[in-house]
Amino acid sequence: MKITFILPSVKNISGGLRSTFELANRLYARGHRVTVIYPLIPTYINNGDIRFKELAKWIRLFMKNFKFRNEVNWFDLKAEIKRVPFLKNRWIPESDIIVATWWETAYAVDSFQENRGKKFYFIRHYEIWGGPTNLVEKTYSLSLNKIVTSLWLKKIIEERFNFQVVGLIPNGVNFKLFYKEKDTLGNHSPKRVGLLYRQMDWKGLKDGFYAFLKAKEQFSDVELVLFGEKPLQKDKAAIKKMCHVEFHLMPYKEELRRIYNSLDIFVFPSHQEGFGNPPMEAMACGVACVTTNAGAIPDFTIPDKTALCVPPKQPDLLANAIVSLLKDNKRRKQIAQSGWKHIRQFDWENSTDKLETVFKEALKNNI
């Protein structure tokens, strides 16, 4: 099959892009002709009025795309990558399958001629955080075959918007990249607690900070390991307050694995998640996870067995879970070991099998 993935950009490190690249590589390895396309001039869709923040975001993305050489240095992408001036039909090659991967790209794919491929929309999140709610939700009614990553998203699309989902393709773990470097199960002294730094409020960073500080009241020497985006100015004071903070800016590949392996506990405080790769990666590295049960997280965890799971926006419960593992080394090791075993079933090859089947069925049945 000739398969085209349409992305808004490839510059920024994100779970959504990485997940698409993992699938693209595996489809390519199976003999399919896979092309990843992104625009030099970003798509800009709004409510008809020019909003400064949206326009500023558009300009930043354009500058990144303009400066960016046509390669992905943070991921070993085997599939062909192609930058086009615009996401317009004339710049898109003919294919059998074409896949939108973000709400704005869904409008573009919907506008393409039929010979650009059977049209799919890979919905990885309820993306109202990334655009005007009415425009994001309108994409779910477009005439595109809809694929989701989680039961949570499937329920939203089918029950709230009354449109059928043709495939549920969970994310996987690249076990060649994420694994236990030593069978220590987190025997560090002092104990190290990991937290992903993302600027979006729905990632629950404030809850994570609060929970860590509450745990630190009982375990004064516990260390915080932050990794992710460059901290906003408003967060720097809060980070400084916590003391013993180690920070890693946008780690990837082997560096990210080493960070996970240096932890005793990984905390994931999100309020909502399309999927949530970091807890899976941490589990694959043998780390005990404390997470909310938001979005897709129930799809790959067993509460109190493979991870400690609490409701979103309950930082005191998050803190209690961290403290319980810091107090009970035996239980922390049991959670880590059970999580490591359980996550083995979430392999990217299994996800690729499912996606390949969905594509073949669409071509066979002409849907």
pLDDT digits (tens, 9 = 90+) for 212-224: 999 999 999 999 9
Token pair in block for residue 33: 């002709």
Residue pLDDT, tens place only, 34-51: 999 999 887 766 554 445
In this prediction, residue 62 carries a pLDDT of: 66
CA distances from 251 to 203, 227, 259, 260 (A): 18, 7, 9, 11
Please give the model's pTM, rounded to 2 decimal places. Answer: 0.90
CATH code of the domain made up of 192-345: 3.40.50.2000
Coil/strand/helix, residue 140: helix
Least confident of 73-77, 89-93, 185-189, 301-305: 185-189
In this prediction, residue 50 carries a pLDDT of: 46
Alpha helices in 170-263 (DSSP H): 205-218, 233-242, 254-261
Q: Is the pLDDT of residue 54 over 50?
A: yes
In this prediction, residue 314 carries a pLDDT of: 97
Q: Is the pLDDT of residue 58 over 80?
A: no
Mean pLDDT confidence for 134-139: 95
Token pair in block for residue 56: 């500023």
Residue 312 near residue 270 (C-beta atoms within 8 A): yes
Closest CA to 335 of 265, 276, 244: 265
Residues 6+ apart with CB under 8 A from 324: 308, 331
74 or 44, higher pLDDT: 74
Mean pLDDT confidence for 182-195: 81
Mean pLDDT confidence for 124-147: 94
- From edge to edge, which strands make up the β-sheet containing 245-249? 245-249, 223-228, 192-197, 265-268, 288-292, 308-310
Report percent pLDDT > 70 for the chain.
Answer: 91
Residues 6+ apart with CB under 8 A from 114: none
Q: Is 304 left (phi over 0), alpha (psi -120 to 50) or beta?
A: left
Average pLDDT in the chain? 91
Mean pLDDT confidence for 79-102: 95
Q: Is the pLDDT of residue 138 over 50?
A: yes
Where, residue-wise, is CATH 3.40.50.2000 in the chain? 2-172+347-365, 192-345
The rounded distance, in Å, linking the Cα atoms of 140 and 123 is 9
Residue pLDDT, tens place only, 231-284: 887 777 778 777 778 999 999 899 999 999 999 999 999 999 888 999 999 999
Residue pLDDT, tens place only, 196-205: 998 889 999 9
In this prediction, residue 87 carries a pLDDT of: 93
In this prediction, residue 366 carries a pLDDT of: 79
How many Cβ atoms from other residues are within 10 Å of residue 93's Cβ? 16
Residue 148 belongs to what H/E stretch? strand 145-148
- Fold for 2-172+347-365, please state it: Rossmann fold (3.40.50)
Mean pLDDT confidence for 355-361: 97
